[in-house]
Amino acid sequence: MLFSPLEQFEINILQKLTLGPLDISITNSALFCILAFTLLYLFFLYTISNAKIFPGRWQSVAELLYLFILLIAKQQAGKQSWPFFPLFFAAFTLIFALNFLGLFPLAFTVTSHIIITFSFALAFNLGFLILGFTIHKLKFLRLFVPSGVPVVLLPLLIVIEVISYFVRTFSLALRLFANMMGGHTLIQILSSFFISALMAPGLLFLSSILAFLVIFGITILEVAIAAIQAYVFTILLTIYINDAFHVGH
């Protein structure tokens, strides 16, 4: 039994490995990353290998997911973003898989660590920044210059725009991290109360039933949040890449 709601987020070394001066030990975080990759690979390998004109259940799921992400990219960034569709698709499926796996008992939620979500967000936003300068050269700096603004206020607003642009990385990372960590912590606290109430006589037993129903409801909500956060992360990526494409036009 866990003694602290935050103990479930500890990273533990499962297998100590070194490569010269490098420490490449396998942790519970790395294990669930590998597991998520493997499950996604096997799922799409199965659906592609057994593809039919009239799709079955799993092929329909894969095709609907494909069309769903493609529609997001089309609506938010236009056809110009379609070459980056594999990036959006990989982001959505991987984040959802990591979120969903963390809901199982004794599992580890990789996206509950700020360093993981920050790494994702930083990699994407740096890539979009490089893409913007690659397409528009120095004209990309127009993104930070609001139009129709008095010259007196322009320096202040440029500073605000630059700061808000780079804050995207932190907001993108914090949103995913906070939702995953907060939800799992709440479930752990309520589960501890449920177990304690079961061991006590009288009215506490009745309250444990209420706690169980609340835990069940929150767990269902966490499944929805796992999908919603993957969706929000992906749709924000398409919005951010839209800046790289259309600034200066």
pLDDT for the residue 2: 47
Residues 6+ apart with CB under 8 A from 228: none
Give the pLDDT confidence of 138-147 residue by residue, as tens digits. 888 888 887 7
CA distance 217 to 211: 10
For 105-141, how does the pLDDT look when each residue is reduced to its tens digit (9 = 90+)? Answer: 888 989 999 999 999 999 999 999 999 999 988 888 8
Please tell me the pTM assigned to this model.
0.86
Burial of 78 (0-12, 13-18, 19+ CB in 10 A): middle
Pairing of strands 22-23, 26-27: unpaired
Question: What does each C-alpha distance from 17 to 14, 21, 24, 34 come to in angstroms?
Answer: 10, 11, 5, 16
